[in-house]
Structure 1
C-alpha cells in the first residue's frame, strides 16, 4: 500500500496546505495521546504510529496509519489506511482498509488528523475480539486500491 505514487496526485491547494501546516504545528504542540507522527518533508502523506490503549486487547501493540491528503482537504476526507500488518479488528480489512464512517460519508471539514486518530483508537479500544470482518476475503479480492472507491455500508455501531 505504500507504493502508490504521490507524483500522480494533484498538488495540495493553498487552503489544504495552510490547514495541514496549522494541524502539524498543533500536533507538535499538543499531540494526541497514543500517537506519534514522524515529520517528513511530504506534507501530503503522513505516517503515524498508533499505540494500543492500555486496558484494551490492543495494549502494548503498535501499528502504523498512512494518511494521504487530497488536493481539496479539508473539504474532502483524507485517505486513511493501516500499513501492514493491519490490526485484527472487525472493521479493519487485511489490506489495511478501515470501515469507519467519518473517513467517508460522515466526514466534516471541522475534523482534523488528531480527531480522526482519536476515533480510530476509540474504535480499536471498543473491540472485544481480534478478528477480521466477515467479508474480508471477498472484499480484499475485489476492492479497488483506494478505500475511498468503496461503497461502504455502515451498520455496526457497537465497535
Structure 2
C-alpha cells in the first residue's frame, strides 16, 4: 500500500510540482526522499535553497511522514537546530488525504508566516514577537550564510 501511494505521489509531484518546491527519492529508496524548497520571495528566506529530508513510514499514508527535517540551517521559531519542523499536519493534524505536495506547501507557508505561538525554539519565537526587524535581519543573514551556496 505505502509504496504504491508513494509512487503515485512522486508521479503527481513530477507532473504538477508545488511552487518553489521539488522532491524525489534518494538513490532508489522510495521511502527516503530529498526535497528542495526555494525561500519564498515575501520572506527573509528569499533566494535561499533549503534541502529537506523526508522519510515515509511503512504504514504511510495512515501515519505522517516520519522525519521531515531541514538539512540546511535555518533561523526560524518552528525549526530547531536539528532541522526538526513543528507543524501540526506532521503530528496530530495528519490525515491520509494529505500528500507530500501539501506538506511542502505548508512548510513554504511556514517560512512566510512563522507561528511563534507554537514554537520549537522559544528564544527565536520571542525575538519574532518582540523585535521583528532583528528576527528578519538574522533570518536573512542565516539564509545568505547557509542557503545561498
TM-score higher than 0.5: yes
Higher relative contact order (CA 8 A, sep 6+): 2
Which residue matches 1:92? 79
Which residue matches 2:101? 114
Offset at residue 133 of structure 1 (A)? 1.3
**C-alpha contact 1:49 1:64 (8 A) present in aligned 2:** yes
How does the TM-score come out when normalised to structure 1? Answer: 0.70
**C-alpha contact 2:77 2:115 (8 A) present in aligned 1:** no
Given candidates 100, 121, 127, the residue that maps to 1:133 is 121
- What RMSD over aligned residues (CA atoms) do the two structures have, in Å? 2.2
Q: Which runs of 5+ in 1 are unaligned?
A: 1-14, 137-159
**C-alpha contact 1:57 1:127 (8 A) present in aligned 2:** no
Q: 1:106 to 1:38 in 2, by over 3 A?
A: closer
- Greater fraction strand: 2
- Greater fraction helix: 2
**C-alpha contact 1:36 1:49 (8 A) present in aligned 2:** yes
How does the TM-score come out when normalised to structure 2? Answer: 0.74
Q: Which runs of 5+ in 2 are unaligned?
A: 125-149
